[in-house]
Structure 1
Amino acid sequence: MAMDSFETILTHHDPDILRVIIVALKAHGFHPHEGGSSGLPGLTTPNGAGIMVPKAEAGDARILAGALLEEMSNQ
């Protein structure tokens, strides 16, 4: 799938939080893009790293990712 068919649904500075959200998205049937926005696995840009999903999934995936991030932030 071409990168222009993906949309960033969440950006965060903590790669551990992003990994948990990616696993949860996959468990719920979403298809997050593998690999970081820096192009190097495990490295993030100064703005953090993003989670990208196919545009057709972006609306629902954004809701789930936001709810998960909020829940993890309240722990």
Structure 2
Amino acid sequence: MANGEIKLEILRILEDRNYGLTIEEISSILNINRSTASRYLAIMEAEGNVLVREVGKAKLHYPKNEMLEILINGI
């Protein structure tokens, strides 16, 4: 899978399952290494395509969505 394809697949998965996914769940669904998923998610968060919410020790990843961002950040 090419770099751009991985990003698109991650976004597709996050949009299909808009309840938030962990790195482990994303890497398992895409059958990629956890560190690879983590790297792409960090890039996508920096680009503003993904929101992250910490729940205990877990980090849930969501697709960027204005209303969701308001709910997550409590703004």
Q: TM-score, normalised by structure 2?
A: 0.31
Greater RCO (Cα-Cα under 8 Å, separation 6 or more): 1
Q: TM-score, normalised by structure 1?
A: 0.31
**Greater per-residue helix proportion:** 2
